[in-house]
Amino acid sequence: MRMLLAGFSMLVVASVPRPLPLRAQSLSADPAFEAASVKLNTSGDWRKSIGPAPGGRFLATNNTLKDLIPFAYGLPQATAGIRIVGGPGWIDSDRFDVVAKAGGTPSPQEMGAMLRTMLKDRFRLLAHTETRESAIYALVTAKGDNAPRLRRSEVSEIDCAARRAAIRRREPVPPPPPGKPPVCGSGRTVPGKITAVGWPMEQLVNALAPFAGRVVLERTGLSGLFDFDLEWTPDQLPRQPPDDPEPLRIDPNGPSLFTALQEQLGLKLEPTRGPVEVLVIDRAVKPTED
């Protein structure tokens, strides 16, 4: 399942490889794609996609190196931009298209390891992990007039857990009946808007982090699944091509993310500090296109 991302956001979260230990290995000992192509993308489009595709392929369109690293190293996609530090400036600006082919049908974890090998080979990437004390946010419930005004979802946590277990076993999963809510949560996150059905608070926290610019911790204590509709005006409006078929339609005079959270959901981001595990980029080199 591929991920369609907007900026550092995602449309339906796909599986991300589990974290794998960082260690020095010879390229010959690492799992690798049978073939891989890397090309510079100069389209200027704000949309991007990344993830496994049928036939043992890995496809990434319009991604920066900073976008590719989370899949390769098993970092949480939503907070990866915050957890990746160091490296030259181009790793967060130059965009690339990657088309790679693996033998057989590798799991997402195995494909992530193959991508890590490719990044070491083509981008000469070298990195290590550290735990640093950092500024973070805690998501809490607001008080008084801004008390939580959340919608409980009709999505069933039990049915959702069973569906995810079937997907892990690679069993066919039927779609929900017509007119019924999704069996599992789904959502769309783009700059200035989060729309979701059947999300736990932890998933909202992950979606908020890239826009808040810090790691966000869930501190509301609210359990269960919720439906969210949140709209705000980003500090920096994303550049959109004039022929964009899916314009964002952001209100330039709308509320900030912090104000929108309180007014629309009755939630609040409180600044605090805490330990954050980060991936430090020691070396990265622009690849030669092929």
Q: Is residue 48 very low, low, confident or very high in pLDDT (cuts 50, 70, 90)? A: confident
- Percent pLDDT > 90 in the chain is 46
pLDDT at 5: 44
Residue 142 has a CB neighbour count (10 Å cut-off) of: 17
* In contact, 100 and 245? CB cutoff 8 Å: no
Tell the residue number behind the tokens 């005079």, with chain if given. 253
- The predicted model scores a pTM of 0.64
Q: Which of 17-31, 189-203, 240-254 has the highest mean pLDDT?
A: 189-203
The one-character DSSP state at 173 is -
Q: How confident is the model at residue 7 (pLDDT cuts 50, 70, 90)?
A: very low
Weakest mean pLDDT among 99-113, 133-147, 176-190, 250-264:
176-190
Token pair recorded at residue 153: 């979802």
E strands along the chain, which residues? 3-6, 35-40, 47-53, 57-63, 84-86, 96-101, 126-141, 151-152, 186-190, 193-199, 216-218, 226-231, 267-283
The pLDDT score that the predictor gives to residue 147 is 67
Task: Summarize the confidence of residues 239-252 as an average pLDDT.
Answer: 67
Highest mean pLDDT among 169-173, 216-220, 285-289: 216-220
Residues near 240 by beta carbon (within 8 Å), at least 6 away in sequence:
46, 247, 248
For the chain, the distance separating the N- and C-terminal CA atoms, rounded to the nearest angstrom, is 26
CB 116 within 8 A of CB 72: yes
What pLDDT band is residue 222 in, cutting at 50, 70 and 90?
A: very high
Six-digit token pair at 98? 């990657």
Token pair for residue 265? 């959901």
Select from 44, 37, 90 the least CA-distant residue to 59: 37
Structure tokens belonging to residue 224:
């269960």
Kindly list the domain boundaries of the chain, sorted by start residue: 3-132+277-283, 135-156+186-275
- Which of 113-122, 189-198, 244-253, 265-274 has the least mean pLDDT? 244-253
Residue 64: the pLDDT is 94
**Highest mean pLDDT: which range of 9-23, 91-105, 169-183:** 91-105
